[in-house]
């Protein structure tokens, strides 16, 4: 992170993209009209795909929250990487094209480990932050970003769940391929639950029109902006493809065909 004085102007997303290209980064794409404007690019020296946003303090808290979950149980990070690779290999890692972003997939993994795995592997850090730990609320741009970041409070939280990351990947694909109700449920990491969506989400489009019963509509809620569905563009046919992808991956993993799921 670069600290800037007040006198130093913050570059626009387009200007940042131009500078990255000049520095030799590849596949530089600027997305200035996204909910959070970003630049995506590929670093050939490390083989890493990256996203950068500018002047977005909420992004800092998102990163801190995800890191805290990573520090609580190593299986989370490994499972999140595997799920992202699966999505990339199968062509559903693309929020701009109506599929799922990396961020949406990470939130799915967090909530899966909070609410679907039995016993749970991750806690829900946000509801506990004020009531149980007495922390002072952190309000950023009007959003409550308070969470319990004291990893020591959760040492060995998931120790009673003995499943390996490979077994958890199979379970994740089974759940989101066969059990999750795409037209009725939401993934809510803030609450640490898979829960029924409000009725208006189940029955109305963004234009206010009544939707057909059973229409797929992926709903993955942001942990800080409580009204934001980070998968809001994934609906209809695209949502059906997402479900079918996890269903097919589950079948392949059960048969031991790991390469077809994760690629080379």
> What one-character DSSP code corresponds to residue 178?
I
Per residue in 55-95, pLDDT (tens digit) is: 677 778 899 999 999 999 999 999 999 999 999 999 999 88
Burial annotation 103-116 (CB, 10 A radius, 16+ → b, else e): bbbbbbbbbbbbbb
Residue 42 scores a pLDDT above 80: yes
Q: Which helix or strand (DSSP H or E) is residue 41 part of? A: strand 38-43
Token pair belonging to 72: 């609580």
Sign of CA pseudo-dihedral 234, 240, 243, 246 = negative
Residue 7 scores a pLDDT above 80: no
Half-sphere exposure at residue 97, Cβ-oriented, CA atoms within 13 angstroms: 7
Confidence (pTM): 0.80
Contact by Cβ (8 Å): 126, 207:
no
Nearest residue to 253 (alpha-carbon basis) of 161, 169, 165: 169
Question: What domains are defined for the chain?
Answer: 13-53 (no CATH), 57-262 (1.10.1410.10)
Alpha-carbon distance of 28 to 184, in angstroms, equals 37
Our CA dihedral for 122, 126, 129, 132, rounded to 10 degrees, sits at -60
Per residue in 168-208, pLDDT (tens digit) is: 999 999 999 999 999 889 999 999 999 998 754 444 444 44
Per residue in 10-34, pLDDT (tens digit) is: 568 888 889 999 999 999 988 887 6
Going by pLDDT thresholds of 50, 70 and 90, the confidence category of residue 215 is low
């Amino acid at each position: 992170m670069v600290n800037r004085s007040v006198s130093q102007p913050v570059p626009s997303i387009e200007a940042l993209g131009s500078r990255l290209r000049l520095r030799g980064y590849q596949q530089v794409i600027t997305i200035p009209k996204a909910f959070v404007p970003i630049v995506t690019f590929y670093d050939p020296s490390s083989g890493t795909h990256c996203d950068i946003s500018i002047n977005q303090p909420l992004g800092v808290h998102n990163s801190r929250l995800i890191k805290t979950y990573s520090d609580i149980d190593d299986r989370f990070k490994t499972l999140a990487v595997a799920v992202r690779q699966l999505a990339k290999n199968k062509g559903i890692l693309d929020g701009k094209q109506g599929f799922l972003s990396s961020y949406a997939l990470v939130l799915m993994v967090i909530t899966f480990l909070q609410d679907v795995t039995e016993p749970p592997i991750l806690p829900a850090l946000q509801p506990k932050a004020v009531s149980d730990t007495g922390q002072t609320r952190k309000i950023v741009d009007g959003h409550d970003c308070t969470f319990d970041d004291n990893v020591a409070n959760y040492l060995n939280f998931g120790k009673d769940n003995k499943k390996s990351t490979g077994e958890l990947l199979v379970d994740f694909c089974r759940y989101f391929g066969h059990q999750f109700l795409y037209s009725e449920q939401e993934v809510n990491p803030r609450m640490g639950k898979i829960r029924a969506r409000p009725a208006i989400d189940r029955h109305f489009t963004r234009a206010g029109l009544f939707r057909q019963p059973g229409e797929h509509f992926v709903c993955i809620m942001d942990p800080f902006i409580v009204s934001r569905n980070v998968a809001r563009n994934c609906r209809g046919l695209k949502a059906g493809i997402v479900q079918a992808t996890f269903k097919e991956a589950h079948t392949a993993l059960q048969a031991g065909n790991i390469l077809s799921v994760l690629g080379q």
